[in-house]
Amino acid sequence: MKSPLIAALLLAATANSALAGGVAFRFGDETFGASVAGDLSADSSAQLDWMHHEDDADLVSLGLYANGQRGALTGRVGAKAIALSADDSGFDGAVAAFGGDLSMPLSDVVRLRGGLYYGPEATSASDIDGYQEWSVSAEFAIFQNSALELGYADIEFDAKDGGDFDFEDGLFVRLQLRL
């Protein structure tokens, strides 16, 4: 339990850095996570995520993105490096995944979100043979600097020896604080 708490505190502490534009906390049925994100320039951003799975697995990812807008639709495309350490199963490795997120406002309060990332075997290392991630959600603005997101996500790692590890497959709640 110490490792997840220390990682969450470190992520929250870095939110005051020049890069950080916000910090978020994510809760799922079997997972907890924290992230720090911010703009590198007007057209690019970065995000550092840490998630802990109840079966003693930890995921850390660092993503770099190109941000864009087309009409009311906003989004980002890019790549992220993902490392997985699963103590109980001995399933460890890393993968580079490519994809993006889209966001569409329905009103001043409600926004729909979706994301898709894919990491092929060619970008995988150690026990990992591939990676898929997708999510759909609705975000509700609490105030101008905070939001609550409710959604469904699937994060899955393929194993070199066959099979897979579902890191997350279910509903999640995410609290975002824009700093």
For 69, counting Cβ atoms within 10 Å of its Cβ (0-12 exposed, 13-18 middle, 19+ buried), the class is: exposed
- What is the pLDDT at residue 13? 47
Single out the residue of 175, 179, 177, 173 nearest to residue 27, CA to CA.
Answer: 173
Q: Please state, in angstroms and as integers, the Cα–Cα distance from residue 159 to each residue in 8, 58, 121, 165, following that order.
A: 27, 16, 10, 7
pTM: 0.85
* Percent of the chain clearing pLDDT 90 (strictly above): 68
Cβ neighbours, 10 Å, residue 24: 22
- What is the pLDDT at residue 163? 77
* Coil/strand/helix, residue 12: helix
- What is the pLDDT at residue 1? 42
Mean pLDDT of the chain: 88
Rounded mean pLDDT of 37-52? Answer: 94
CATH topology of domain 2-178: Lipocalin (2.40.128)
Tokens 């049925």 correspond to: 29
Residue ranges of domains in the chain: 2-178
- What is the pLDDT at residue 100? 97
CA dihedral 175, 11, 113, 142 (to 10 degrees): 30
User: Is the predicted pLDDT of residue 88 greater than 80, yes or no?
Assistant: no
* Percent of the chain clearing pLDDT 70 (strictly above): 87
User: Is the predicted pLDDT of residue 65 greater than 80, yes or no?
Assistant: yes
User: Is the predicted pLDDT of residue 41 greater than 60, yes or no?
Assistant: yes
143-148: which pairs have CB atoms within 8 A and are 24 or more residues apart? 145/177, 145/178, 145/179, 146/175, 146/176, 146/177, 146/178, 147/111, 147/175, 147/176, 147/178, 148/173, 148/174, 148/175, 148/176
